[in-house]
Amino acid sequence: MLVTWKYRPRDTFVQRLDPRARLIFLACMILAVFQFWDIRFLLPFFVISLTLYFLARIEWHDVRRAWIFILLFVTFIVGLNALLSGRGGPLEVLQDVSSRVIFQARILTVPLVGWTWTVRITVVKAVFAATQLVRILTMAILAIPIPYTFDPSRYGVAFRQLGLPDKAAYTMDLAFRFVPTLGRDFGITLDAQRARGYEVDRLKGGIISRLRRLAPLVVPVTMLAIVGGEDVVDAMDLRAFGTRPRTWTVRLEYDTKDRLFIAFGVLLVVVSVALNILGYGDFWVPSALLAGG
Amino acid sequence: MSEAPPIVVENLSFRYRTRTELAIEDISLMVHPGEMILVAGASGCGKTTLARCINGLIPRSYKGELKGSVHLYGRPVSGMTLAEIAQVVGTLLQDPERQIVASQVFAEVAFGPENLGLPREEVLERVGEALHRLGIEHLRERETFNLSGGEKQKVALAGVLAMRPTVLLLDEPLASLDPASAHEALALFRRLADEGTTIVLVEHRVEDALAARPDRLLYIEDGRVRYLGPIDSLPPEVDPAQVKLPAAWVVKYLRQQGKMTPPPPVPERDGEALVVFEDVDYAYGDGPLVLKGVNLTIRRGDLLAVLGPNGAGKSTLVKHAIGLLKPTRGRVLVEGKDTRDLSVAQVASTVGYVFQSPSHMLFAPTVLEELAFGPENLGFDSDATAQAVRESVQVVNLQGMEKYSPLGLSFGQQKRTAIAAVLAMRSRILILDEPTAGQDYANYTRFMNTLCRATDGRGQSLLSSRFAATLFITHDLDLALTYANRVVLVSDGRIVADGRPEDVLQDFALLERCRVRPTSLLRMNCEFLPKTGRFLPVEALAAYAA
């Protein structure tokens, strides 16, 4: 059986919004943020995301784990990658050789062939890493509250009324609930294997050996997901799912605040695209930092 | 609806594409309007295959070779769409968890009528009617995954009834319910039949199913019909070893066959404390207390059954014994050491825990590797691991399957593999969470007999020869009184009774408060207790019943 995220009904501005308005606004924000590499242009979006996050009034202990995961992911994968390699952004960061070097060290020299790997952090890369963190966090802060503030019984109908066909809309409904179900099965499996003396924090050896040691967790969880999927298909077949166009009893209706919220999102996209076309928002490094060398 | 009978099965045979043998063979059956027919037989006998032929999953979802025919009100199932069949035959699957697809009760009940594309007003009317019929209007806005087992089943049934079927196919509907919920479900099925619904009740727990007063019994063995007729008494064709029957019927059968056995010896208990719970409270996160002031000592020689309804805190209790959960208040000592100071891996060398579902633990490419996993984690050397694995294979009778993939085994074999995997760790205490769940009567009786029945004159069983104590959680009262020498009753997070089965299980009022229903075997044991001096398994009890 699929379980749901830890949703609670709350009388907040965010939860009073039509789920479709929130999804459309999320899409608008992502599109708008993608227009800029200039941290000065990104900061207003960051503030909007943060404001909406606090308006959602989610209890900290509900989202603590999600935050830890996101912060670790953003810092170590996105931040470090940006800082060390400069990849994933504008070309001028990748090709930067002229700006001031903050830190440089030879990390590794391969014997015999003599190849070396040198870490060279420049002002440009440091600013780029900060910009990249603000971009990703802007989107993450907007996305984190969704599972906790989005009524699970509205998943399917929201996507249907956004124009997806019946099957695709219901698939989205099931997919949304698949993640916490996987989490539950993972928790039970971890307990069952720990009871057999398995300690996940004691993984030793090389990558292959470590991956093999993860099999006691990965194999049962995968098999449960497959078998669970078959159960869902049988249960849906037995109640005539997909045999004809279906009725969606729950109907979502936009009200004024939803329309205004969507309009605000669309406005952000229009303005952002226009600024981009006019040449604003390219990668920016404070001249004081560049001149400092 | 046409005048033709609701279900007519004629010379039906089916072979699954992946199998060489027939799953059912030459089955013929006619079910009348408003009739309740009980379909019984051991696991793999073909009951579920017959049900799948009636509800159209065969051949649509399960491919194979089908011969013969099934007609619903005169129309061949082969010529009907799934949507058409679903409006005639409503199917309730074995586990409501597998049936419920929506996240909220209203959405779940509305799911079928919505799929039929009915007008919105009619969907609302049908949902209201189905919820009202089952008396669960108050659940309408609840999230489905937060419901109790009994509530989930009612919601799943409401989802089926909202399709307004005239035939209900109930596939082992009692499997995941505690005894009191099962009894309520059976009363409900009877009421639906009395209101005119034709019911096919597939169940191996015949004793329980009789409470719904089925009109006829269809007994299947090896895919063939062995008996079809009334069930006022035990038909000679029905083998009491295959399905669970009322104790009086079994006693009569055993006496006729001369198969009574002497009382098994009582296992010795020497009183050494192995696991001690001291004033244990526990709450998940900031939720309510699930355990409240629990004091319990597991002693050497205990064969302890933990009984209680769903949600009483039984699993939470035993997870403390292995250190998977640490008390919110109080402490748990394993061989004198506080579990707060021990890792789960350290406790695992003393306490072996077999989870309810083998699917959550089996992962290795072969049975041998699966069984070696625990001993290797505990630091056994290769000789000791090989020896422990060899012994475990023998104990649970898995010889010949050592090289098989555990994932490809039947459910019963997987369960035995899971137990062997824990046996191989040579822990001092064994904990089994619902050891019989998901298995039919014939399988679990064989399995429990192998583990718990004495193999020598001193009452030593395979379990007692390998473990200082064994604890099992169960819903099955007969399992407790047949195999345990000590019973603990748990209700609402507290231990409400603890003692010998004869001391705890005679208090019917207490059992009722804990949603444990006295069975015919318990009643018979109570009746003969002055002669027997203790509770006995049915084979031994037969010797006392004149």
The answer to whether residue B72 scores a pLDDT higher than 70 is yes
| In B432-515, alpha helices (H) | 441-452, 462-466, 477-483, 501-504, 508-513
pLDDT of A102 higher than 60: yes
pLDDT of residue A199: 84
- How many structural domains are present in chain B? 2
Residue of B518, B522, B525, B519 lying closest to B544 (CA atoms): B525
Structure tokens at B246: 């009322």
CB atoms within 10 A of CB A243: 16
Structural element, H or E, at residue A185: helix A166-194
Residue A203 pLDDT exceeds 60 = no
| Predicted confidence (pLDDT) per residue in B106-153, tens digit | 999 999 999 999 999 999 999 999 999 888 899 999 988 888 777 888
Examine the domain organization and report whether B510 and B460 are in the same domain.
yes
Residues 183-202 of A with CB under 8 A from B: 185, 188-189, 191-199
> What values do phi and psi take at B202, rounded to 5?
-95, 120
Closest residue by Cα to residue B469 from B497, B500, B431:
B431
Q: Check whether residue B371 and residue B496 sit in a common domain.
A: no
Looking at the predicted structure, is the pLDDT value of residue B171 above 80? yes
Q: Give the pLDDT confidence of A257-275 residue by residue, as tens digits.
A: 999 999 999 999 999 999 9
Domain boundary among B386, B406, B426: B426
Domain that holds residue B511: 263-350+429-520
d(CA A216, CA A213): 7
Q: So what's the pLDDT on residue B453?
A: 73
Q: Is B64 helix (H, G, I), strand (E, B) or coil?
A: strand
Question: What's the CA gap between B484 and B501, in Å, rounded?
Answer: 7
Are B471 and B338 members of one domain?
yes
- Residue B21 located in a structural domain: no
B5-31 pLDDT, tens digit each = 999 999 999 999 988 889 999 999 999
Query: Helices (H) and strands (E) in chain A — how many of each?
Result: 13, 2
Residues B467 and B416 in one domain: no
Domain endpoint, select from B426, B444, B476:
B426
Which residue of chain A has the CA closest to B123? A249
- Judge whether B109 lies within some domain: no
Q: How confident is the model at residue B388 (pLDDT cuts 50, 70, 90)?
A: very high
| Range from A78-87, A110-119, A227-236 that averages highest in pLDDT | A227-236
Q: Are residues B337 and B299 in the same domain?
A: yes
Instruction: Quick: pLDDT tens for A127-140.
Output: 888 898 999 999 99
Torsion of CA B482, B484, B490, B491, to 10 degrees: 10
The predicted pLDDT at position A99 comes to 67
**Are residue B433 and residue B345 in the same domain, yes or no?**
yes
Residue in the structure block whose two tokens are 């209007």: B137
Residues of A in contact with B370 (CB under 8 A): none
Q: What are phi and psi of A51, to 5 degrees?
A: -60, -45
- In this structure, is residue B270 part of a structural domain? yes
Q: Is residue B313 part of a domain?
A: yes
Task: Please tell me which residue, B256 or B494, carries the higher pLDDT value.
Answer: B494
| B93–A contact, CB cutoff 8 A | yes
Which CATH number covers residue B479?
Answer: 3.40.50.300
pLDDT band for position A293 (cuts 50, 70, 90): very low
What span, in angstroms and rounded, lies between the C-alpha atoms of B167 and B165?
5
pLDDT digits (tens, 9 = 90+) for B487-540: 999 999 999 999 999 999 999 999 988 888 899 999 999 999 999 988 998 988
Q: Examine the pLDDT at A3 and tell me if it is beyond 70.
A: no
Instruction: Check whether residue B346 and residue B433 sit in a common domain.
Output: yes
Q: Are residues B305 and B376 in the same domain?
A: no
Are B380 and B503 in the same domain?
no
What are the boundaries of each domain within chain A? Answer: 18-291
| Residues 314-373 (B) with a CB less than 8 A from some CB of A | 319, 322, 324, 343-345, 348-349, 352-353, 355, 357, 359-364, 373
Q: Check whether A2 has a pLDDT greater than 70.
A: no
**Chain A contact present for B118, CB below 8 A:** yes
Is residue B422 domain-shared with residue B439, that is, in the same domain?
no
Three-state secondary-structure class, residue B305: strand
Percent over 70 (pLDDT), chain B: 97
Please indicate, yes or no, whether residues B398 and B409 belong to a single structural domain of this protein: yes
Residue B369 lies in a domain: yes
* Distance separating alpha carbons of residues B258 and B384, to the nearest angstrom: 45
Closest by Cβ to A239, choosing from B115, B344, B421? B115
Predicted complex ipTM: 0.82
- Is B485 within a domain? yes
Task: Say whether pLDDT at A9 is over 80.
Answer: yes
Question: How confident is the model at residue B170, as a pLDDT?
Answer: 93
Q: Do B97 and A247 touch (CB under 8 A)?
A: no
Q: Do A247 and B120 touch (CB under 8 A)?
A: yes
Picking from B426, B455, B480, the residue at the C-terminal end of a domain is B426
Both B346 and B367 in one domain: the answer is no
The yes-or-no verdict on residue B46 having pLDDT over 70 is yes
Do the domain assignments include residue B249?
A: no
**pLDDT score recorded for residue B202:** 93
